[in-house]
Amino acid sequence: MINPKNIAEEIKKKLPIKQVKTAVILGSGLSGFAQELQKGQSLSYKEINGFPQTSVSGHKGELIHGYIGSEEVICLNGRFHLYEGHEPQTIALVIRVLKDLGVKRLIVTNAAGSLSTDMKPGNLMIIKDHINFSGKNPLVGPNNEEYGPRFPAMNNAYSKHLREKCKKVAEKLNISVKEGIYFMVLGPNFETASEVKAFGSLGGDAVGMSTVPEVIAAVHCGMEVLGISVITNYAAGLVNNTPTHQETLEEADKASSRMSALVTEFIKEED
Ligand code: HPA
C-alpha cells in the first residue's frame, strides 16, 4: 500500500502549502468553485506519483491550492468513485493525503437524485447523515492506528456546528437549502423504480454514488465534515421518469454558481 505521507510530501514540494485547514471535493458538474480560488496553482493528478486517476466525464482530475480571502484551501477537482473500479482503500488514501497536508475540515459536494417529491431538482441539500448501502467501506483491512481507531463512531459524521453555520450563510446569501439523508449506492446504473421506493422508505432523501467513502475515511481520521448535494433529478420512476448522466450534469451546472457562492462564503466566515 502506498504511504499517504510520501504523496503529501511530494505535493508540498510542488505547491506553496503553508497551513491549510480546509479541503473541498467537487462533485459532477460542480467545478465552478475552482475559479473562486485566488493565487490558485494546480497539479494534475497525473503529476502526483501514486495518486489515483479519474475517468468520469464532468470530473477533471486536478488538485488545486489557493485562497478564499485569507483562508488557505485545497480543492480536489475530480473525485474517485467506487463504480470506476477504485478500491475503497484508494479513497481512504486520498483523504489521508489531505490529512497529512494539514486538513482538518472537509467539504464534500455531489450531485444526487431525489427520493421524495419534496426534494426538487435544483434544490441544495445539506447532508445531515448518510446511509451506506454500497456494501463497501474504505476502512476494511488492517487498521492504521496513526490515523484513527479500528471501530470509529459514525453517528455524528456531519458536524452539527458546520451544518448550522452553512444554514446561516445560506440565509444571508438568500440561497434556499434543505437538509436530508444521503443514501449511497455503488452504481454505476441508476436505480430501478422499486429500489427508489425502498430507499425512500429506508430513510433516504437523496441517492448518489459517491461521498460516503470519503466521509467515513475523513471522520475516521478526525476531520470535521460538511456535505452538500445538488439535487439534479428525481430518482428513477419517482415521477415516471428515466434519469440520464447528461441531465445530472446539466442540472448540476445550473446550480454550480449557487453552490460555489455558498461554499465560498462558508469558508470566508469565521467559525
Ligand atoms: N441516482 C444515483 N446517483 C445519482 C442520481 C440518481 O438518480 N442523480 C445523480 N447522481
pLDDT at 59 over 80: no
Which residue from 167, 154, 152 is spatially nearest to 228, judged by alpha carbons? 167
pLDDT at 205 over 90: yes
Confidence of residue 55 (pLDDT cuts 50, 70, 90): confident
Catalytic site residue 159? no
All three cell numbers of 41, joined, read: 496553482
pLDDT at 122: 94
Low-confidence winner among 27-36, 129-138, 169-178 (lowest mean pLDDT): 27-36
CA of 181 to the centre of ligand 1 (A): 14
Average pLDDT over residues 243-255: 89
193-198-203 Cα angle (round to 5): 130
All three cell numbers of 9, joined, read: 510530501
Catalytic site residue 83? yes
Catalytic site residue 132? no
Say which of 110, 229, 233, 260 is annotated catalytic.
233
DSSP reduced 3-state for 43:
strand
Where would I find the H helices in 15-61? none
Does residue 138 contact residue 92 with C-beta atoms inside 8 Å?
yes
The packing angle between helices 88-101 and 212-220, to 10°, is 50
Q: In whole angstroms, what is the distance from residue 3 CA to residue 9 CA?
A: 10
* pTM across the whole model: 0.96
Average pLDDT over residues 76-100: 95
Catalytic site residue 28? yes
- Tens-place pLDDT, residues 129-150: 999 999 999 999 999 999 999 9
**Structural domain of residue 133, as residue ranges?**
4-268
Q: In whole angstroms, what is the distance from residue 184 CA to residue 129 CA?
A: 11
pLDDT at 64 over 90: yes
Say which of 92, 111, 223, 255 is annotated catalytic.
111
Question: Higher-confidence residue: 241 or 160?
Answer: 160
Mutate which of 191, 211, 245 for ligand 1? The one with the most ligand atoms within 8 Å of its CB, which is 191
Mutate which of 232, 250, 251 for ligand 1? The one with the most ligand atoms within 8 Å of its CB, which is 232
pLDDT at 270 over 70: yes
Does residue 84 contact residue 55 with C-beta atoms inside 8 Å?
yes
Residue nearest to atom 6 of ligand 1 (CA): 113
Confidence of residue 170 (pLDDT cuts 50, 70, 90): very high
pLDDT at 31: 83
Per-range mean pLDDT, top range of 28-42, 51-65, 198-212: 198-212
Catalytic site residue 245? yes
pLDDT at 42 over 80: yes
pLDDT at 102 over 80: yes
pLDDT, averaged across the chain: 94
pLDDT at 63 over 90: yes
- The C-alpha cell 467559525 sits at 271
Q: In whole angstroms, what is the distance from residue 265 CA to residue 166 CA?
A: 9
Mutate which of 124, 229, 231, 233 for ligand 1? The one with the most ligand atoms within 8 Å of its CB, which is 233
The CATH code of the domain that includes 62 is: 3.40.50.1580
CA of 18 to the centre of ligand 1 (A): 37
pLDDT at 57 over 70: no
Catalytic site residue 42? no
Domain count, the chain: 1
